[in-house]
Structure 1
């Protein structure tokens, strides 16, 4: 749903909504009781996601960026402010494909493959940049190999963007990062970043944000086997 209507209607209790008649062929009464209890929790989860999104949108202005970083794009040099294009919001993803890597991170690649398909829709609302520290030719070569059509790639080789906004250490190890920037009156500010990681992860779980931006995990979370404990995406099968 969109957030155009900011009024807060009185919500029916989740359990009341969950207990509306619903049946599938062959299910037992025991299954339906358990399923309705789960459905009530799913409704509450949806509501919590909406509350968190509203709280995120209400953040006060973030810090202004320290410089108008220069990147190498697929069509030549471009600045961070130029990445906005006609939009006032820019989303950036730091792709783990630094110069020390012969091949990119499989998890990042899986995520970007999903986003490539959504990009024509995303770009209707915001600008989106995929940033890696390898030379642009190396990034583009993999884009072609993977068959990506819509992702816009930029090399941050030579600037400090990854260190400033992805927390990379001076040794040059690369990390994933999702950031949102805004532009108003010629001033570019940092709006929000995905700040959950190893230090905030729960026991027995891989580090992840909430909501999880990977459609892969969202689908697997709906299945009996879940995400599993010993499986991750690969670059090829």
Structure 2
């Protein structure tokens, strides 16, 4: 017999209507947060960044592809990875169907990673993805937008992620990042190398030929982009997880 509470349809409806009020309040709060994001001051980008894309070398302005807005997903795929981060990959599984709609609403989209373009293209083919994906290999882009740190920063501390300064990394077995070990293995690298890349998203606008940075978010700020979790949050048992359970979508059949 189930241990979860049960009730009549009338009792369920009463509880559901109470929940509906809370959901509506959350929606109104979300709308207000979106307005606050849009009111953030724009920061002019004067630094020259170069990217390698399927179409060749590109500047940050080129990534707009004729549109006035650009959304970038900072995908964890370092030069020493053999495959993309499984978490970033699970998020990216939802990109294909979204990009065409963004592009027809004056918004360009691209993922950006530090791995060389050939690695990105190979993994993209393996995953069956079609969204734009640029390599920032050799560029400061990832470091400047707080989604990458050097080995020295990792050893000595001082790098910033999610708007906080990090301490030096000298983690023993079983430490705070030990949960990253399975994902590092799936990406084909060690934990220290794996966590030198970080996930995030950034937004830019092109106004009168000038690129401005408008917004960035990291860590749990990416939850709203992770379609899998939006569905699980509405499932009877919710996220129902005691640890990281997902993997690259072509590896579930491997047990």
What TM-score, normalized by structure 2, do the two folds share? 0.74
Is it true that 1:39 corresponds to 2:20 in the alignment?
Answer: yes
The 5-angstrom pairing of residues 84-103 of structure 1 reads 84-103=64-83
**Where does structure 1 differ by over 4 angstroms across 4 or more consecutive aligned residues?**
none
CA-CA distance at 1:231 after TM superposition: 4.1
Quick one: distance in 1 between partners of 2:9 and 2:133?
Answer: 52
**Aligned to 2:31, which of 45, 50, 57?**
50
Aligned partner of residue 166 in structure 1, secondary structure: coil
CA-CA distance at 1:28 after TM superposition: 2.7
**Aligned to 2:141, which of 152, 161, 170?**
161
- Aligned pair count reads 199
Range with greater deviation from structure 2 (215-224 or 110-119): 110-119
Conserved? CA contact 2:200–2:222, under 8 Å: no
**Aligned to 1:223, which of 226, 235, 239?**
235
Contiguous gaps of at least 5 residues in structure 2: 1-6, 152-192
Aligned partner of residue 45 in structure 1, secondary structure: helix
CA-CA distance at 1:166 after TM superposition: 3.1
The 5-angstrom pairing of residues 19-168 of structure 1 reads 27-60=8-41, 62-125=42-105, 126-149=107-130, 151-168=131-148
Contiguous gaps of at least 5 residues in structure 1: 1-25, 198-207
Conserved? CA contact 1:97–1:104, under 8 Å: yes
- Which digits, 9 at most, give the CA deviation of each residue in 1:151-205, with x for residues without a partner? 111110001000011342112711111000111112111000114x3xxxxxxxx
Q: Would the alpha carbon gap of residues 77 and 83 (structure 1) be closer, same or farther in structure 2, given more than 3 Å must change?
A: same
CA-CA distance at 1:210 after TM superposition: 6.8
Q: Would the alpha carbon gap of residues 81 and 210 (structure 1) be closer, same or farther in structure 2, given more than 3 Å must change?
A: closer
CA-CA distance at 1:68 after TM superposition: 2.4
What TM-score, normalized by structure 1, do the two folds share? 0.79
Quick one: distance in 1 between partners of 2:109 and 2:146?
Answer: 16
Quick one: distance in 2 between partners of 1:226 and 1:139?
Answer: 33
Structure having greater relative contact order (Cα 8 Å, sep ≥ 6): 2
Q: Would the alpha carbon gap of residues 118 and 27 (structure 1) be closer, same or farther in structure 2, given more than 3 Å must change?
A: farther
